[in-house]
Amino acid sequence: MPERIPVVERILSANDKLAEENKSQLDAAQVFAVNLMASPGAGKTSLIEQTLPRLAEKLRVAVVDGDIATSIDADRASAAGATTAVQINTGGECHLDAVMLHQALGQIDLSTVDMLLVENVGNLVCPASFVLGTHKSVLVASVPEGDDKPYKYPGMYRGVDALVINKVDLLPYIDFKMDYFRKGVEALNPGLVTFPLSCRTGEGLEAWIDWLLENANPKS
Ligand SMILES: Nc1nc2c(ncn2[C@@H]2O[C@H](COP(=O)(O)OP(=O)(O)OP(=O)(O)O)[C@@H](O)[C@H]2O)c(=O)[nH]1
Ligand SMILES: [Mg+2]
């Protein structure tokens, strides 16, 4: 159906334009923004919960949480110390887009924030197609998902700036071949910075926090 292609292109280019506006707005306010993507249950919210207290003395962090239906994750981010936590219910959409982030930014006083963590909808396909205007895209993979995911979802692994490998505490119990996983990642995204860690034990979180701090630009 050739006539479908231009329509998709127009939607994506409209999204790209608004994403640029979002980025300008974030830059003007000196807010470093990260788009966290992952499959459902990989540990995006857990990572946010572990990250916020570790940054509390250095950065003020707002969270935007994309979810199909609930406000569970924004409530968790609030409880973990987010300066502001905004929930976006996508009403069935499997990803966030630049329009949704634009609306969320309107609910945040960016002058009081140094960093924005955006939790995308749990999905390894759709979020990869929609830029939001964040400065970095991070994929949160997790050990129980299996070591074949880079091979099966190349688009997601190809487009990110960093990779968290969560739930490494489960490595002794799951047949996850780290070498095979890393080989798949390297083929798609050579030299990609990776953070093997556990949100349960805290192992490996320091390197992730250091990476955020290196990239952020606190206002005061
Ligand atoms: N063993 C172990 N469990 C973890 C770890 N991180 C998260 N979990 C568990 O994994 C489950 C899902 O974690 P969430 O943080 O809610 O995952 P999510 O990616 O935000 O999920 P959605 O928002 O529903 O897509 C929860 O039961 C967490 O307790 C970890 O490092 N180790
Ligand atoms: Mg979540």
- Mean pLDDT for 21-43 is 98
- Helix 44-55, helix 72-79: angle, nearest 10: 20
Q: Look at the pTM and tell me if it is higher than 0.85.
A: yes
- Mean pLDDT for 158-185 is 98
CA of residue 106 relative to chain centroid, distance = 20
Atom of ligand 1 nearest to the CA of 46: 15
What average pLDDT does the chain have? 95
Q: Are 158 and 181 in contact (CB under 8 A)?
A: no
Give residue 1's pLDDT band: very low, low, confident or very high (50, 70, 90): low
Q: How far apart are CA 82 and CA 116, in angstroms?
A: 9
Mutate to test the pocket of ligand 1, among 36, 44, 46, 65 (most ligand atoms within 8 A of CB): 46
Among the listed residues 21, 96, 33, 37, the one whose alpha carbon sits nearest the alpha carbon of residue 59? 33
Rg of the chain's alpha carbons, rounded to an integer? 17
| pLDDT score, position 2 | 60
Find out whether the beta carbon of 218 lies less than 6 Å from any atom of ligand 1: no
Neighbours of 109 (CB within 10 A): 10
Please tell me the distance between residue 218's alpha carbon and the centre of ligand 2 in angstroms.
Answer: 26
What lies within 8 Å, CB to CB, of 197 at 6+ separation is 164, 165, 166, 168, 203, 204, 205, 207, 208
Please tell me the distance between residue 193's alpha carbon and the centre of ligand 2 in angstroms.
Answer: 23
Q: Judge residue 26's burial from the number of C-beta atoms within 10 Å of its C-beta, 0-12 exposed, 13-18 middle, 19 or more buried.
A: buried
- Mean pLDDT for 67-80 is 95
| pLDDT score, position 218 | 73
Angle (CA) 165-171-175 rounded to 5° is 105
Please tell me the distance between residue 103's alpha carbon and the centre of ligand 2 in angstroms.
Answer: 20
Is 213's pLDDT higher than 70? yes
Find out whether the beta carbon of 42 lies less than 6 Å from any atom of ligand 1: yes
Atom of ligand 1 nearest to the CA of 38: 19
Share of the chain above pLDDT 90, in %: 90
Mutate to test the pocket of ligand 1, among 199, 205, 208 (most ligand atoms within 8 A of CB): 199
Find out whether the beta carbon of 126 lies less than 6 Å from any atom of ligand 1: no
Find out whether the beta carbon of 41 lies less than 6 Å from any atom of ligand 1: yes
